[in-house]
């Protein structure tokens, strides 16, 4: 658990969870399921460890340089905001 306070509300109550993270860079995307996060139980603010984000970034560039294969591909519909 975090030993610091939430930057948004000041609470010191957090819970470790897993979520889907969408990394984007210059119109390219990588969906990362099961990403570890800590969530403030008072306001819901989400915190990612720097090492987790760095690993996601490294994997993104390895995939787009064809040095590594993604686990799978997904299709996503697109609809413009009217």
**Parallel, antiparallel or unpaired: strands 46-47 and 14-25:** unpaired
Residue 39 has pLDDT above 60, yes or no: yes
Residue of 7, 3, 9, 19 lying closest to 42 (CA atoms): 9
On whether residue 27 sits in a domain, the answer given is: yes
Q: Distance from CA of residue 13 to its chain's centroid?
A: 21
The verdict on residue 51 lying in a domain is yes
Note the pTM of the prediction, 2 decimals. 0.84
Domain that holds residue 18: 14-64
Percent of the chain with pLDDT over 90: 90
Name the pLDDT band for 76 (thresholds 50, 70, 90): confident
Residue 50 falls inside a structural domain: yes
Mean pLDDT, to the nearest integer, of 2-12? 86
Is 82 inside any structural domain? Answer: no
Evaluate whether residue 24 is within a structural domain.
yes
Share of the chain above pLDDT 70, in %: 98
Count of domains for the chain: 1
């Amino acid at each position: 658990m975090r030993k610091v306070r939430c930057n948004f509300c000041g609470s010191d109550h957090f819970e470790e969870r897993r979520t889907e993270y969408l990394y984007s860079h210059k119109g390219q995307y990588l969906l990362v399921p099961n990403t570890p996060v800590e969530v403030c139980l008072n306001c819901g603010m989400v915190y990612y460890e720097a090492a987790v984000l760095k690993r996601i970034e490294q994997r993104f560039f390895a995939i787009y340089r064809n040095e590594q294969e993604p686990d799978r591909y997904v299709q996503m519909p697109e609809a413009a905001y009217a």
